[in-house]
Amino acid sequence: MSGYNFSKAKVLIIGDVMLDRYHYGTVSRISPEAPVPVVSVKKMDQTLGGAGNVANNIAHLQSSAVIIGSCGKDTDGNTVKQMLDDINTRYNFVETKNPTTKKMRVIGDKQQIVRLDFEEITHMSGKYAEKAIKYIKAEIDSCNAVVISDYGKGFCTLEVCEEKIRLAKKRNIPVIVDPKGGDWRKYAGATTITQNVKELAEAVGRPVENLDEEVVLAAREIIGRTRVEYLVVTRSEKGISIVRQNDHMHIPTEAREVFDVSGAGDTVVASLALCLGIGYEISETVKVANKAAGIVVSKMGTAPIMLSELNNAFNNVSKIVEIQQLKAHLAKVKMMRRKVVFTNGCFDILHKGHISYMRKAASLGDLLVLGLNSDASVKRLKGDSRPINNEMDRAEVLSALEFVDFIIIFDEDTPYELIKAVQPDVLVKGGDYTIEEVVGADIAKKTVLIDFVDGYSTSKIIEAMKEE
């Protein structure tokens, strides 16, 4: 499969770095102390937030970034640094007396119950601003795109932003801004500002309905004030609009089940920066950003886009995944109490029996994971004349079935290790087995046998073809 390659891009990010912490649990009663739900916490997770999430997206798109921001001399600051080390992202932090910004969310039974913000907003000035600008000057020559990730926490001041934009423009480096607040004068001269309709309305100082003509009119007003080349406006179910002073383009969204919009803006910014950094035209760049945003909103929490997900989406085989990608997605799916079904097979020549079997399997839960024997595995099981169709051809055909959610190719003779990784709620196998014979029955919560449709098998089809 062909795909995007961002390995030659390097992005300089300045902005507000945060720690996002999630407490997941279940709700079974109301507190006797106050009319609020009691969340029994089952799991804690933490991710990079704010400008850190932009860096996280860039790292998972297999590119590199250096981040300049501020943090406190505290445990949360050390945690942020360690998380950046873990994704091989360099950083230069101005350490202040303020605590590292942290957002803590409590989620009970898929629903966010409360968010707690730990922060003290102090605008970067004096020796702190001088240090930030020093870091920017030291890093900018090695980068081919610049991001200003402003979350209104004090780092992206007029002084810092103006100097960064001046240095970038002098070197002909694109500057992508994720803005905050209503005064965008500090972003003057940037290449583009990306915002949603609500932020656009705040910037122009009047209501803006999510209609093509209103968005274009408001965006051009902002272009006139800030002298940016164009605006990129994210418009929820209506997609993304690119607006210049004399032309515009509307790119429709792609329908997806939305679990959580947290961090989607960071994914858009990261995608824009990488594409512009390696010289893509803006129309192609925004198509990539739109696709990436559609993927991350189907995840729970602040989660980055992975390069394999992006490339698979553009190749229409997004259901075909690697093991780490599958495990990451299933962890979030199970936290939402969705029932995972697993089955496996060679599926060499797809026929009615296969379709009936998989449809019944899918009906036993919320999500069907299909383990597909690799070509080498099929040869060991079926002989040197098999498979008739190679593994990627088989996987692509299966990915066209709406009731199949994920396909993962495995090379072993049995899917036992794969089943251990998936930990399915329901394991499905053909009716020619007994429960005791099913590989992985000791792992799954439940094992179900489904009878095959009489008269249909790949071997019979192959034999009939030979007779002809």
Active site members: 266
CA dist 343 and 361 (Å) reads 8
Amino acid at 42: K
CB atoms within 10 A of CB 5: 13
Positive or negative, the CA dihedral 58, 56, 96, 94 is: negative
Q: Which long-range contacts (CB under 8 A, 24 or more apart) does 285-291 make?
A: 286/232, 286/240, 286/242, 286/249, 286/251, 287/251, 288/4, 289/232, 289/240, 290/239, 290/240, 290/251, 290/253, 290/254, 291/254
- What phi, psi does 252 have (nearest 5°)? -65, 155
CA dist 293 and 232 (Å) reads 13
| Residue found by looking up tokens 């007396």 in the block | 97
111: β partners? 108
CA dist 317 and 313 (Å) reads 6
CA-wise closest residue to 359 among 453, 463, 467: 453
List, in order, residues 6 or more apart from 452 with CB less than 8 Å away. Answer: 353, 357, 430, 431, 432
List, in order, residues 6 or more apart from 213 with CB less than 8 Å away. Answer: none
Amino acid at 286: V
CB-neighbour burial class of residue 204 (10 A; exposed 0-12, middle 13-18, buried 19+):
middle
DSSP 3-state of 195: strand
SS3 content of the chain, % helix, strand, coil (to 5): 40, 25, 35
